Amino acid sequence: MRIEYRVEPTQRKSYIYIPFEVPENVERMEIRYTYEGDHANSRQTGKEKNVIDFALLDNNGDDIGTRGSEIRHAVISGTYSTPGFKKREPAAGTWTIILGAYQVVSKGVTVYYDIDFQYKKARWLKGDTHSHTTNSDGKLDYKQLALYAKKLGMDYIIITDHNNSTEGKEMPDVDGITCIRGLELTSYFGHINMWGVAKPYNGSFASKDREDFLKRNKQARERGAVQAICHPLCSLCPWEYGYEGVEFDALEVWNGPMRKDNLRAVEFWDGLLKEGKRIPAVGGSDFHRDYGFKYLLGQPTTTVYAKSQTPYDILAALKEGRSVLTHRTNSTFLTIETAGGAMIGDAVKYKEGEEIIVKAKGLLRGHTVKVIDAEGVYYTYTAKRKQDFEARVPVRGRGYVRAEIEYNKKGLFKLAHKLIMKFMLPKEAKEPVPPFIYALTNPIYFE
């Protein structure tokens, strides 16, 4: 959208209101404005000078922000806005530019406003659901963590400090990164992530017993938090509260670098799927710092298929099981879909001859794609070279179908794994290194 407005000398030192329409379904809005006769050295040259200020009102007529005439470009969105402007989703309706005609040359000036609308569009978004900052026991503060996530190519980061909410704290403004509020409720009997609310419960984190924990758990649900049980079969801090009566939306089956604890968690999750439970799997790096190994943030990465990059839509995708877990942000990406367009997280009616399409982008040599249903693995393909892979695989009946990529660590990678385990889990460091998971999808359900 381009708006031209002619400012006459008689309008000098006045505020001019210029309405414009924001359409439905806008995720991000960018406004640029230009005009002629802006002579920075007008005092020395004696030339006249135009100084046109800029401010913006939302569809309710409230100030969104202003930066005077020095800033000629403003981004407005629910996840990032230019400094000086409020983070605000560009709601449909009549918004207003305030043109501040501070100085106007004697012949007048034409001001040009170019407004770009970026519409909400469903897409894959990479991120990390489990991270810590200096707000608990992490090394980086909010802004540093967000910048690190952007450096690694992520689209979102969920901040989940131990027993310390984001209440009263501003989420960092980093263009391209959605920072989502969270908290890891941490006790001696298990950890659970609570995403999407500033204050998930009242009172202290310190639960006296299971019933006391359940009160916080239920209060978080009432406040709209999406909850994921963390590292349920961790050798150091497993989930010991049981599952009966616990409100949770997802299970963190992959926590930090891939290891045997995670394999056990995936096996446990698969058992729940066999029982008919539709519980989404998520991954989280549990990032605190890099510990001498680079880029532990985003290991693993949880890539969601979300309707937009807003916190609400990302959390909805996690809750719906529309996610894929991968080794890192830029490693092999794996998906499954049906010929009819159903994707991960969908439930569709089973029909005879049904097939799924398995796709792996950047499949590495020696890595094996596996297709799994309630009866176990029934299709495999091992790559002989690095490639993009696609195959049609029949569905054997009602239930669920999901996919994994499996690989064996060799050479220096195997040695590095043993070294890491020596510090994390000394017992595992002495054991044989099994085949590990490199990527994992949530299921498609067939009814």
- How confident is the prediction along the chain (447 residues), in pLDDT tens digits per residue? 999 999 999 999 999 999 999 999 999 999 999 998 765 444 545 578 899 999 999 999 999 999 888 889 999 999 999 999 999 999 999 999 999 999 999 999 999 999 999 999 999 999 999 999 999 999 999 999 999 999 999 999 999 999 999 999 999 999 999 999 999 999 999 999 999 999 999 999 999 999 999 999 999 999 999 999 999 999 999 999 999 999 999 999 999 999 999 999 999 999 999 999 999 999 999 999 998 767 899 999 999 999 999 999 999 999 999 999 999 999 999 999 999 999 999 999 999 999 999 999 999 999 999 999 999 999 999 999 999 999 999 999 999 999 999 999 888 888 888 887 887 788 888 888 899 999 999 999 999
To the nearest 10°, the Cα dihedral for 197, 201, 203, 204? Answer: -80
pTM for the structure as a whole: 0.92
- Burial of 216 by CB count in 10 Å (0-12 exposed, 13-18 middle, 19+ buried)? buried
Q: Residue 303 is inside which H or E element, if any? A: strand 301-306
CATH for the stretch 2-119: 2.60.120.380
pLDDT at 295: 84
- The three-state secondary structure class of 144 is helix
User: Cα–Cα distance between 395 and 351 in angstroms, integer?
Assistant: 9
Q: Give the type of residue at 361.
A: K
- Taking alpha carbons only, the member of 323, 326, 319 closest to residue 404 is 326
Cβ atoms of residues 342 and 162 within 8 Å: no
pLDDT at 424: 76
- The secondary structure of the chain in percent helix, strand, coil, rounded to multiples of 5, reads 15, 40, 45
- Burial of 120 by CB count in 10 Å (0-12 exposed, 13-18 middle, 19+ buried)? middle
- Taking alpha carbons only, the member of 410, 307, 318 closest to residue 89 is 307
Query: Which CATH number applies to 123-446: 3.20.20.140, 3.40.50.300, 3.40.1190.20, 3.30.300.30?
Result: 3.20.20.140
pLDDT at 281: 98
Cβ atoms of residues 9 and 106 within 8 Å: yes
- Burial of 338 by CB count in 10 Å (0-12 exposed, 13-18 middle, 19+ buried)? middle
Q: How far is CA 334 from CA 344, 357, 397, in A?
A: 11, 11, 22
The full set of domain ranges for the chain reads 2-119, 123-446
